Amino acid sequence: MDMVVSRMVLAGALAALALAIHPTPAVAQAVPAALAETEAPRGPSTGLPLPRFVSLGTSEGRARRGPNRGHRVDWLFTRRDMPLRVTAEFEHWRRVEDAEGQGGWMHYSLLSGVRTALVTEDMTVMRRQPREASVEVALLERGVIARILACEDEWCRLRVDRWRGWVPRAALWGVEAHERLN
């Protein structure tokens, strides 16, 4: 009896392998859709992708150990517009982290959908056009928070106070490597 069961398991495994190597049209169409879902999980409360970036919408935001006001405060964010990565959702609460991985659960009313970035490299050159040979507009210190206006392949267009220009994406935290913003 065990021999029959093991042959059935082996036959099922071989059939699955055959479908993976030479999928039928119906399976071939279903596989990319399934992969797309696993690549971009969605938040149960908003349906938005996880993880995703937001910014601190207030000048002070408490990050708590759990998703309600009864949990103790683990972290206090005090820089309005600071980019934060949302990693989880529970009802009106979002688990967020900063560039250093610090964070916790914050009420969604403290967050904003305005996209900002944190400059991670000291004396990053802001340029007029998205290329190395372009004219320098400004030098940005590490820790500067900028509003993201657009992102292309390797560059993001930012606004810092009255200055606007392009900065290499590699010098920023607050935008994914593959993300394009208009």
Domain range summary for the chain, segments of one domain joined by +: 2-39, 52-114, 117-173
pTM of the model: 0.77
AA identity, residue 53: F
Contacts of 27 (CB under 8 A, 6+ apart): 19
35-46 average pLDDT score:
74
Note whether 52-114 and 117-173 share their fold. yes
Distance CA 80, CA 18 (A): 55
Determine what percent of the chain is predicted with pLDDT higher than 70.
79
Question: In CATH, what number does 117-173 get?
Answer: 2.30.30.40
The answer to whether the beta carbons of residues 111 and 55 sit under 8 Å apart is yes
* Cis peptide bond upstream of 51, omega within 30: yes
pLDDT tens-digit map of 9-40:
334 433 333 333 344 344 334 434 444 445 67
Task: Write down the pLDDT at residue 39.
Answer: 65
| CATH 2.30.30.40, applies to 52-114 | yes
For residue 107, the number of C-alpha atoms closer than 13 Å in the C-beta half-sphere is 11
Residue 46, pLDDT above cutoff 60: yes
- Alpha-carbon dihedral 121, 123, 128, 134, rounded to 10 degrees: -90
Q: Which of 144, 159, 154, 160 is nearest to 180 (CA)?
A: 154
Structure tokens at 87: 């990693």
Distance CA 45, CA 31 (A): 26
pLDDT tens-digit map of 87-137:
999 999 999 999 999 999 999 999 999 999 999 999 999 999 999 999 999
